[in-house]
Amino acid sequence: MTKQELFQIIKKKKSFLCIGLDTDISKIPPHLKKLDDPVFEFNKNIIDHTHEFSLAYKPNIAFYERRGTEGWISLEKTIEYLKKFDVFTIADAKRGDIGNTSKMYAKAFLDNLDFDAITVAPYMGIDSVSPFLEYKNKWAIVLALTSNKGAFDFQFTESKTSSNKLFEDVLIKSQDWGTDDNTMYVVGATQAEMLADIRKIIPDHFLLVPGVGAQGGCMEEVARYGINRQCGLIVNSSRGIIYASDGIDFAEKARDKAVALQKQMESILLQNNLI
Amino acid sequence: MTKQELFQIIKKKKSFLCIGLDTDISKIPPHLKKLDDPVFEFNKNIIDHTHEFSLAYKPNIAFYERRGTEGWISLEKTIEYLKKFDVFTIADAKRGDIGNTSKMYAKAFLDNLDFDAITVAPYMGIDSVSPFLEYKNKWAIVLALTSNKGAFDFQFTESKTSSNKLFEDVLIKSQDWGTDDNTMYVVGATQAEMLADIRKIIPDHFLLVPGVGAQGGCMEEVARYGINRQCGLIVNSSRGIIYASDGIDFAEKARDKAVALQKQMESILLQNNLI
């Protein structure tokens, strides 16, 4: 998917919502558990009830690998099902290895499974990220500033020579590896006030923003500091939507949560003259 | 496996060799390709011919995920087969995510697949690594200084406040998260001269050292600067061993390469009065 196509979907659906399909088998409503593939059935129901209001879906691969081969089958069925809809698909995999090996991960997620994007860890530098940038109209979403407690361990360390923080160095250097047509960045919503400075470095790139909801981030703050002229934001909510209810009404309740976020986003897009 | 048990195997086999099972289906000898699971058959042959000379095996997960569900089945069969032998098993996965999610990866690799160890990326800090330290007698092998070109992008950046390089900060901080009984570090053989300084920070930890062979690292150098009183080294070779021949004799040729490295290691262990 191109950047232009992404922006078209945002305008059509009046939404920049991403739903995290972090589907934990132990949290699935009991009535689905007797089915052959409860995780896929859960995802299918969530997707059916929310795709009109969602720009993107993001299965976190850990939740599938935790179940081995069975989990991988649920993942394959989920991405195949997502392809029926007008949505952007993200493999939240946080991969990164030497070039020879990153190439294998790129093939796994961007070619075989045909995700539009994959999240990538930058610690190993250029050759760990570049193989993900070689697929036409696909995206590497590089971890910059994450939403967790451990983000403060290394990401804020200032460089002696450049005075940049590590996450700023990641933003700066990685611009030599790709463009705003094939690279996005993860910037946690819990660090919303940092977005103003981040936008000085990367005014045009799309940002994937986790941490709204369960992790405590605020969407209004994220939009205030992070929105750009093509929206430039994909805001993710996982647990807040998919586990809104653990009963037979889980998909309807998920839809209600998605609609509430979409309405907030519609209002933000209007305020910014983007729709 | 405990540190003491690891050292016992090193002394028994006179080897600290790790064989990287980076099994690329396109590089498997033609005569195996007609079998049901060529990747597992290849691995099984390599293991049968080399386990007497090898301390450890390290499947790189990318090579399995590249083949989707089929690849995951090959991986499950490979780890199950490895469990028959007196070897240390490493999932080279380079995972790392927010705590809630790293916990899923830990369950996948250290519990379900029952690997002894998993490689972990440190960019996201404490809560991305800690879940891998919660399994008794299992290990997190944290990326510190890698063997690839991109290692120079961020890992050598000096901190303004501490003057430590990023990889040194990783070594220092992560010592608060675990101990030398559950944490190891990846230190590339291509940076062997750095090992002397690294040993000042972590004298007692085991190091997983990739990059000997195809990537150009030298084992003598690694041992000179990196060995400690319990050996403290696991030196990996992947392509140099498993692709020593692409003919019907691939396993015998792999054994020859493994034996040659084991002999070098035996001599190093003798010189250091460890056997």
Span B70-80, mean pLDDT? Answer: 97
Chain A partners of B105 at a C-beta cutoff of 8 Å?
62, 65-66
Judged against a pLDDT cut of 80, whether residue B225 lies above it is answered with yes
Chain A partners of B70 at a C-beta cutoff of 8 Å?
none
DSSP conformational letter for A82: H
Q: What gap in Å lies between CA A88 and CA B86, rounded to an integer?
A: 46
CB atoms within 10 A of CB A142: 27
Nearest to A233 by CA among A244, A224, A243: A224
pLDDT at B18: 98
Q: What gap in Å lies between CA A212 and CA A256, rounded to an integer?
A: 16
Residue among A125, A148, A169 whose CB faces B152 most closely: A125
* 3-state SS track over A126-194: HHHHHHHHCCCCCEEEEEEECCCCCHHHHCCCEECCCCCEHHHHHHHHHHHCCCCCCEEEEECHHHHHH
Q: What gap in Å lies between CA B18 and CA B39, rounded to an integer?
A: 19
Backbone angles phi, psi at B129, to 5 degrees: -100, -40
Judged against a pLDDT cut of 80, whether residue B44 lies above it is answered with yes
Judged against a pLDDT cut of 90, whether residue B146 lies above it is answered with yes
The residue of B40, B101, B147 whose CB has the most chain A CBs within 10 angstroms, and thus the best one to mutate to test that interface, is B101
Q: What gap in Å lies between CA B69 and CA B60, rounded to an integer?
A: 16
**Domain made up of A3-271: CATH architecture:** Alpha-Beta Barrel (3.20)
Contact criterion met (CB < 8 Å) for A159 and B157: yes
Token pair for A72: 């991988």
Judged against a pLDDT cut of 90, whether residue B23 lies above it is answered with yes
Q: What share of chain A is helix, strand, coil (3-state, %, to 5)?
A: 50, 15, 35
| Closest residue in B to A73 (Cα–Cα) | B69
Judged against a pLDDT cut of 70, whether residue B37 lies above it is answered with yes
Chain A partners of B127 at a C-beta cutoff of 8 Å?
148-150
Q: What gap in Å lies between CA B248 and CA B245, rounded to an integer?
A: 8
pLDDT at A120: 98
pLDDT at B214: 59
Q: What gap in Å lies between CA B133 and CA B122, rounded to an integer?
A: 13
Judged against a pLDDT cut of 90, whether residue B145 lies above it is answered with yes
Chain A partners of B143 at a C-beta cutoff of 8 Å?
123-124
> Shortest Cα distance from B260 to chain A (angstroms)?
25
Residue among B69, B149, B152 whose CB faces A69 most closely: B69
Where would I find the H helices in chain B? 3-13, 38-50, 62-65, 68-82, 99-106, 126-129, 151-154, 166-174, 195-201, 219-226, 239-242, 250-271
Nearest to B207 by CA among B197, B114, A205, B215: B197
For the stretch B167-208, pLDDT in tens is 999 999 999 999 999 999 999 887 778 899 999 999 999 999
Q: What is the pLDDT along chain A (275 residues), one digit of tens a residue?
A: 999 999 999 999 999 999 999 999 999 999 999 999 999 999 999 999 999 999 999 999 999 999 999 999 999 999 999 999 999 999 999 999 999 999 999 999 999 999 999 999 999 999 999 999 999 999 999 999 998 999 999 999 999 999 999 999 999 999 999 999 999 999 988 777 889 999 999 999 999 999 786 566 688 889 999 999 999 999 999 999 999 999 999 999 999 999 999 999 999 999 999 99
Judged against a pLDDT cut of 70, whether residue B85 lies above it is answered with yes
Token pair for B64: 């399995």
Span B144-158, mean pLDDT? Answer: 95
pLDDT at A214: 59
Among candidate residues A27, A44, A77, A94, the one labeled active-site is A94
Query: Is B173 one of the annotated active-site residues of the chain?
Result: no
User: In whole angstroms, how far apart are CA B269 and each of B50, B251, B272?
Assistant: 19, 26, 5
pLDDT at A95: 98
Q: Which amino acid is at B102?
A: S
Among candidate residues B27, B94, B103, B173, the one labeled active-site is B94
What is the average pLDDT score of chain B?
95
Contact criterion met (CB < 8 Å) for B97 and A63: no
Exposed/middle/buried for A214, CB within 10 Å: 0-12, 13-18, 19+? middle
pLDDT at A191: 74
> Shortest Cα distance from B209 to chain A (angstroms)?
14
Output the CA angle B256-B113-A78, nearest 5 degrees: 120
pLDDT at A9: 98
